[in-house]
Chains A and B, each alone.
Chain A
Amino acid sequence: MGEYKTYRPKRKILKWLYLYVFMWFTGRAIKIAAKVDDEVKKEFDSIPNNFNVALEVLPYGPALVVGKTEDGKVQYLGSSTKDKKIDLRMIVHNIENAMQLFTFQESTAISFMRNRLYLDGEIPYAAAFVRVFDAVEVYLLPKIIAKLAVKRYPAWSLIRKLSGRVKIYLRAGIGV
C-alpha cells in the first residue's frame, strides 16, 4: 500500500524578487518613455484618461500597474493591484511563465501563443500597451536581447535609441 502526504507549496522567493525589481524598473521606465518618446506618447494618447493597466503574475504577484490620470498624465502605480481600479489586465498564469517572459527566453508574442498569459479587457488597448512595452524593451535592452523579446526589431536611428536609453535609465533609476 502507498502512503498519503499533503504537500504545501513553497514560495519561490528569489524568482519573485527578480520579477519585483524588473517590473518595478520597467514600470518606471514606461512612465519616463511616455515623456521622451513620441511613439510611446502617441500610444498612450489612444488610451482613455483615468484608465489603469496591470500586468500581473498569478497568484501572488508581483504586478506592474501603470495608468493615465484624469488629466491624461502617465503614472506608474506600483507593484500591487490591491485596491486599485484596473481596466485592463494581462495575467501571467504562474511565476515560471513570468520568468520565461522576463528573462527573454520567450517573447511577448510567443508567451501569448503558448497561453502563458491571457488578457482580460479591451483588446485594442492591450495591443497599444504591448507596443509600449516593446518600445521600452528596445530602449532598455541591448539589441541582441531585445530581438528575442520583440517580434520585429524597429529600424530606429541610433540617436533616437541612445538618447532615449540614457534618459530612461537615468530618470527611472535615480528618479530625476
Chain B
Amino acid sequence: MYLPEYCEFLSPVQIASGHHVLEKIPGFLKALNAKRPLILADKGVTAAGLIGIVEDAIKDNVQIGAIDDDVPPDSDLKVVSRLSDVYRKNNCDAIIAVGGGSVLDTAKGLNILVSEDADNLMEFAGANKLKRPLKPFIAIPTTAGTGSELTMAAVIADHDNFIKILFGSRFLLPDIAIIDSRMTLTLPAFFTAATAMDAMTHAVESYICLQKNPLSDAHALSAISLISKNLLNVIRKPDDQEGRLLLAKAATLAGMAFSNSTVGIVHTLGHSVGGVCGVPHGTCMSIFLPYGLEYNYHLVNPFIAELLFPLAGPEVYADTPENKRAEKTIEYIRQLNQDLHDATGGRHARFLSEILNRDGEQMVKKSHFDAIARISIGDGTKFYNPEEIDYDDSMLVLEASWDGRPLNRNLVKKNA
C-alpha cells in the first residue's frame, strides 16, 4: 500500500443518504438551531419537479422562509447580493441549496454575506479569509457527480469586471449533504452517464495524482467499484431507484476523495474546454479520462494497474497479467465510454469532434485548441498532475482526443 511521508484528510460534512431522507430535514434543522430556511434552486430543478418534492417533504414540519429558484447557471456577485436581500427580508436563518455546482457555489457565497452580516463579498475573496462557522447550510445535490457539496471552494463570477472570484475556506462546507434517490431519478440517460463519469474521473484522478493519500485512496476505490457496477444498469433501467442511490453514494465518495487529493490533467483540459467552448463538464471528463491516464502513464502506471480491480472485478483482474493491467484499465475505460455511447443512442460523446450542441453543431473546433491550451497552463489543477503540463503537452492531448486516437505515449515529454 502507498504510504506518503505526509498527508492530510478532512471530510467533515454529515452525509445523510437513502430513499426518503428529505423528510428528515426538519429534524436536522432543529439540531442546527434553525427555524426558517431559505431554499435556493435553479429553473431546471424546479422544472424537473424537484423543488416540489423537497417542499412536500418538509413543509409540514418546518416553516420555509422563502423559495428562490432564480439562480442562473453562471451565477455572479449581483445574484448573491440579491439573494442576501431575500434572506434578510424573510428573516431566514438557514440555507437549503437544491441543485448542481452553480446553485451550491451561490449558496456558499450567500452564506458568507448573511453570516458575516456584510454587503461586499469581495472582502472575503481568497483563501482562508473566514474565521468562524457560518449559518446552518444543507446541500441537496441533484446531479450525482459534481461533488461541490464536499469542496471547500466556491467560484463566483463578477460579470462587470469579467473575472471569476475564488473563495476557499473549510467553513464554506455545508453542515449536511442530503443524498436522496428521488433527486436523480428523473435525470435523462445521457446526463446520468456524463455526471457519473464526472464522479468516476474524480475518483480515478484522486487515485493517481500527487496529493493521493491512503484515506482518499480508500474512498476512490469504493467509488470506482460502485460506479462500474451500477452505471450501465441504471442507464438501461432508469427507474432503478436502488442503483440511482448507489451511484449518488459513489459520487459522494468520489467527492470525499478528490476534495482531499485533488485532480489533474483531465480537469485541467476539461475546465479549459468548458470555458472556451461551453461543453458540459461531465462530457469533457469522460473524453479526457483515458488520455489523462495515458499522459501520466510513465510516472504512475502501478497505480493505474491497481484501478483495474474496482473497475473490472476479480475475474478480469486475475486473468490479466500484472504488466498488462495498467493498459487494460485504460482500455476498460474506453470501452465503458463506448458502451455508454451505444446505450444513450450516441448522445454520450467519445471524443471531441463528436460533441454536438442542441442544434447538432460541433461544439469544439480544431481552431479552439490554441485558446484551450493557453488557458490550461494557468489552471490550478495542473499543480497536482504527476507530470508537468505546458502548452505543447496540452496540444498533444487535444490532437489525440479530437478523433479518439489513443495517445502515443512516446511523444509525452519526460524528465530530461
Contacts and interface: CB of A to CB of B under 8 A. Distances in A.
**A–B direct contact (CB < 8 Å):** yes
A120 B126 contact: yes
Nearest to B126: A120
Nearest to B414: A152
Interface string B206-246: 00001100000000000000000000000000000000000
Contacts of A51: none
B378 A155 contact: no
Contact of B416 (A121, A126, A130, A155): A155
Given A112-B384, A127-B379, A153 B415 contact: yes
A127 B126 contact: no
A113 interface: yes
A156 B416 CA distance: 9
B388 A118 contact: no
B415 to A, nearest CB: 5
A114 B387 CA distance: 17
A118 B211 contact: no
B383 A127 contact: yes
A145 interface: no
A113 B380 contact: no
A151 B378 contact: no
Interface in A110-125: 110, 112-115, 118-125
A128 B378 contact: yes
Interface in A86-124: 109-110, 112-115, 118-124
A59 interface: no
A90 to B, nearest CB: 11
Given A109-B210, A114-B7, A127-B382, A152 B387 contact: yes
Given A109-B210, A152-B387, A115 B126 contact: no
Interface of B: 6-8, 126-128, 163, 166, 210-211, 375, 377-380, 382-384, 387-388, 413-416
21 contacts: A109-B210, A109-B383, A110-B210, A112-B383, A113-B210, A114-B7, A114-B211, A119-B127, A119-B380, A120-B126, A120-B127, A120-B128, A122-B163, A123-B378, A123-B379, A127-B380, A127-B383, A130-B383, A151-B387, A152-B416, A155-B413
Interface of A: 109-110, 112-115, 118-128, 130-131, 147, 150-156
